[in-house]
């Protein structure tokens, strides 16, 4: 299995809602990533997990809360988001942290905050 899956594909939420994005990979990769991508822009790194531990937080607001329950799963918990948080949220994984291995991306979750 050489893919990264993400659920849901689309999510619409109000500013007071709590929701979660899910990401899963079964490639045995030990590094997992969350990115935010606005239309026609490159992805912006949010978080990196390596061996299930948070290794990079790119000064992301606390209304975004990542979680890595095990080596195959990565969640992003959302609470009290703002309309400007509407974007495509991409999950990725790679074989090892700090290596030259490419990252494999999921299809993304299209988030709309009303």
Comparing CA positions, the residue from 51, 90, 56 lying closest to residue 72 is 51
Question: Which residues, 6 or more positions from 78, have their beta carbon under 8 angstroms from its beta carbon?
Answer: 13, 17, 18, 19, 20, 21, 63, 64, 65, 85, 111
Select 91 or 113, whichever has its Cβ closest to other proteins.
91
Do residues 66 and 88 lie in contact, with contact meaning Cβ atoms separated by under 8 Å?
A: no
Window 58 to 87, contacts with other proteins (CB under 8 A): none
18 is a site residue for other proteins (CB under 8 A):
no
With CB under 8 A as the contact rule, the residue among 11, 24, 29, 31 that binds other proteins is 31
- What are the residues binding other proteins (CB under 8 A)? 4, 6, 31, 33, 40-43, 45, 48, 50, 55-56, 88, 90, 92, 94, 97-100, 102-108, 110
């Amino acid at each position: 299995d050489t893919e990264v899956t993400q659920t849901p594909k689309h999510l619409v939420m109000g500013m007071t809602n709590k929701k979660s994005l899910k990401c899963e990979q079964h490639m045995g990769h030990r590094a997992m990533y969350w990115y935010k991508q606005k239309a026609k822009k490159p992805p912006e790194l949010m978080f990196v997990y390596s061996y299930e531990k948070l290794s990079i937080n790119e000064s992301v607001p606390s209304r975004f809360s990542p979680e890595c329950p095990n080596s195959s799963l990565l969640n992003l918990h959302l609470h009290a988001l703002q309309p400007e948080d509407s974007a495509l949220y991409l999950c990725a994984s790679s074989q090892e942290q700090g290596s030259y291995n490419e990252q494999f991306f999921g299809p993304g979750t299209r988030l709309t905050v009303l």
